[in-house]
Amino acid sequence: MTKQAVPKLKLSPFTRLALLAVAVILACTLFLTWNVKASWAFTLEFRGQKLISMVLVGIFIAIATLLFQTISQNKILTPSIMGFDALYMLIQSVLIVLIGASGYSILNEYTKWAIEITIMTSMMLLLSKFLFRGSAQSIQLLILSGVVLGICLSSINGLVFRMMDPSQSVVAQDAFFASFSSPSIALVQLSYLLLAATFVYLFRYHHQLDVLLLGEQTAHSLGINYARLTQHLLILIAILVGMSTALVGPITFLGLLVVHLAYQLAGSYKHKILLPFAALLGVLVLVLGEFILQHLVSFNTRLSIVIECVGGLVFLALVIKQAKS
Amino acid sequence: MIEFKNVALSYGQKQVLKDINLTLADTGLTSIIGPNGSGKSSCLSLMSRLQKASAGEVLLDNSPIQQIPANQLAKKLSILRQDNHTNARIQVKDLITFGRYPYHQGRPSAEDLKIVEQCIEYVDLQAVQDRFIDQLSGGQRQRVFIAMVLAQDTQTILLDEPLNNLDIKHSVSIMKQLRQACDELNKQVVVVLHDINFAAHYSDTIIALKNGELVANGSPTDIMQDSVLSHIYDMPITVTNIQGKPTCLFYS
């Protein structure tokens, strides 16, 4: 019998998960304690804040991407294709134009977050209300419309950007790239809430996600309320992406990267394993990446730019691989 | 018991099923035959609620099928469509265990696993039960999905062209197993078939559709008539008795 073992190492999925968790803890410790020059209290607080935002974003983006791929039955999509990033940038541009560069920089975090998350979630709700008819086919329609909408939004954003004065455009440019500097406490608290809610929801429904892998019709036959489940997941994805974008800015390629690593390394198709695995990988990639960038190569660039670049290469590799098979 | 009351189905302008009235008995094997595009698969989709009738009503055990909660329906009725495809790397045994999902909701019990084991034996897949489904041949994969539906253990089993991709040996063995499920376990099995001789040999009832209309409904002997079959398929078909069984010869 040709038992083609995918993993070369014979480790159970739980062992793999545990190993990954250890790696994440090590990376976080390393990040916090490497080469401390200032006082410990200051360093730990400063780096700790940064670490928290990386942990939150790593988890949110990984989970959002995995869920998106499961409901779209497509392994080369990320939620960013729905135009979330474009919408986020447009919101920033419009805000800067409306209240000016200085007004934008002192804008209350709660207000800014509330504006962002409301607009981004309502876009998804509107799209799904008008286009989603509860079948896999209409998911495709939804995604396509998202793509078109995304292009449209980023063109509008380009227009708005050109109308800014130079000082405004500098601020806007800065807002277009994800940055892991210290997020506001308010945002972090809201993120904890979201994290808890996501955890509870996925803990209850992760097995239904496994059934979704068999396709819409089989899921129906096995008693899954496909339309309702997909609708809930779409909303959850919108909130997760919106939240992580509000925290650090657009960084959606990260999801593609870590979810694919998770498919390869987790050794299981079950969401019970895949979800935490991808989430931990998301954290690991961000923390290790930032650590290497800051301390080892003392590169003065943003991690998000490196990740977008690597993520883009992974995406290309995937497309080429799919075309070959 | 499945009942169709004045059921119609249309996609946009195109009417796929027209005013179907039909009652299927609680047990026994029913075959749906008819030319391509006659509405066979749509008929099955309506029975399983994959689609909603444009007009009329489908009843399962006297209650409108649209009103039955999804998880309850999954314990009464299962369906296997033609194109079963998954991107995920799932092992044969795990996939068949999904058939028990309506009962275990993600946590298969020892009892569930025992049933899965029986189903694997039933369709003769012990040798490949630990393989990933993308490593199987088309025929093997088809049997995996049939095993999954059998594991769901519902009173009613709907199969859309289950003999697709199967060689003669496995076609015969699947039909025998379905027959056995009807005779020994009192199941109701509804299959869409293209091979009329298979339908005639194993069914209790044959339903024929043509252009979305019900054109014949009866026992195999009623349907296996030159005139009836020639009318359904718009071509001359001769039925001959071979070893006491009506068999049609359509090769010319």
Chain B CB contacts of A6 under 8 Å are 89, 132
Among A255, A252, A239, smallest CA distance to A125 is for A239
What contacts B156, CB < 8 A, 6 or more positions away? B2, B47, B60, B76, B77, B78, B187, B188, B189, B190
Among B1, B2, B4, B28, smallest CA distance to B214 is for B4
Contact A4 B135 (CB under 8 A): yes
Distance between CA atoms of residues B163 and B167, nearest Å: 8
Contact A214 B135 (CB under 8 A): no
pLDDT computed for residue A300 by the predictor: 66
- Reply yes or no on whether the pLDDT at A199 is more than 60: yes
Q: How far is A206 from chain B (nearest CA, A)?
A: 8
Distance between CA atoms of residues B164 and B194, nearest Å: 9
Distance between CA atoms of residues B40 and B158, nearest Å: 12
Contact B72 A223 (CB under 8 A): yes
Partner residue opposite B102 with nearest CB, options A73, A213, A222: A222
Contact B86 A213 (CB under 8 A): yes
Q: Is the minimum CB–CB distance between B79 and chain A shorter than 8 Å?
A: yes
Contact A221 B87 (CB under 8 A): no
Higher confidence at residue A322 or residue B246?
A: B246
Distance between CA atoms of residues A92 and B2, nearest Å: 57
CA distances to A159, B17, B23, B195, B199 from B214, rounded to whole Å, are 60, 9, 12, 18, 17
Percent of residues, chain A, with pLDDT higher than 70: 95
Query: Chain B window 131-150: which residues touch A at a Cβ cutoff of 8 Å?
Result: 131-132, 135, 149
Chain A CB contacts of B48 under 8 Å are 220-221
Among A319, A48, A27, A44, smallest CA distance to A181 is for A48
Token output for A180: 């892991």
- Reply yes or no on whether the pLDDT at A4 is more than 50: no
Band of residue A207 on the pLDDT scale cut at 50, 70, 90: very high
Among B246, B209, B204, B245, smallest CA distance to B224 is for B246
- Reply yes or no on whether the pLDDT at A235 is more than 60: yes
The residue type at A215: G
Q: How far is B246 from chain A (nearest CA, A)?
A: 35
Q: How far is A226 from chain B (nearest CA, A)?
A: 9
Distance between CA atoms of residues B85 and B77, nearest Å: 21
Q: Is the minimum CB–CB distance between B80 and chain A shorter than 8 Å?
A: yes
On whether the pTM is more than 0.90, the answer is no
The arithmetic mean of pLDDT across residues B235-246, rounded, is 88
Q: How far is B227 from chain A (nearest CA, A)?
A: 37
Q: How far is B212 from chain A (nearest CA, A)?
A: 22
Q: Is A213 helix (H, G, I), strand (E, B) or coil?
A: coil
pLDDT computed for residue B127 by the predictor: 92
Chain B CB contacts of A223 under 8 Å are 70-75, 101-102
Residue B10 near residue B54, CB atoms below 8 Å = yes
Band of residue A94 on the pLDDT scale cut at 50, 70, 90: very high
Q: Is the minimum CB–CB distance between B183 and chain A shorter than 8 Å?
A: no
Contact A211 B131 (CB under 8 A): no
The arithmetic mean of pLDDT across residues A63-78, rounded, is 91
Among B60, B29, B58, B64, smallest CA distance to B42 is for B58
Contact A217 B50 (CB under 8 A): yes
Contact A1 B152 (CB under 8 A): no
- Per DSSP (E only), the strands in A162-290 are none
Predicted confidence (pLDDT) per residue in B104-158, tens digit: 988 999 999 999 999 998 888 999 999 998 888 888 888 899 899 999 999 999 9
pLDDT computed for residue A3 by the predictor: 43
Chain B CB contacts of A211 under 8 Å are 98, 101
The arithmetic mean of pLDDT across residues B4-17, rounded, is 91
Contact B152 A222 (CB under 8 A): yes
Strand order through the sheet with B77-80: B77-80, B156-160, B188-192, B28-33, B205-210, B213-218
Partner residue opposite A220 with nearest CB, options B50, B88, B99: B50
Contact B89 A221 (CB under 8 A): no
Q: What mean pLDDT value characterizes chain A?
A: 86
Predicted confidence (pLDDT) per residue in B220-240, tens digit: 999 999 999 999 999 888 899
Predicted confidence (pLDDT) per residue in A104-149, tens digit: 888 887 788 788 888 888 888 888 888 887 777 888 888 888 889 9
Q: Is the minimum CB–CB distance between B73 and chain A shorter than 8 Å?
A: yes
Predicted confidence (pLDDT) per residue in B64-115, tens digit: 999 999 989 999 999 998 877 777 889 999 999 999 999 998 899 999 999 9
- Reply yes or no on whether the pLDDT at A213 is more than 60: yes
Query: Chain B window 39-58: which residues touch A at a Cβ cutoff of 8 Å?
Result: 48-50
Q: What mean pLDDT value characterizes chain B?
A: 91
pLDDT computed for residue A9 by the predictor: 57
pLDDT computed for residue A2 by the predictor: 41
Contact A223 B74 (CB under 8 A): yes
- The radius of gyration of chain B from alpha carbons, rounded to an integer in Å, stands at 18
Query: Which residue matches tokens 């509860």?
Result: A134
Distance between CA atoms of residues A90 and A94, nearest Å: 6
Distance between CA atoms of residues B124 and A196, nearest Å: 46
- The radius of gyration of chain A from alpha carbons, rounded to an integer in Å, stands at 20
CB contacts < 8 A, A to B, total 77
Chain A CB contacts of B86 under 8 Å are 213-215
Percent of residues, chain B, with pLDDT higher than 70: 100
Contact B48 A207 (CB under 8 A): no
Chain A CB contacts of B79 under 8 Å are 217, 220-221
What's the ipTM?
A: 0.86
Contact B131 A221 (CB under 8 A): no
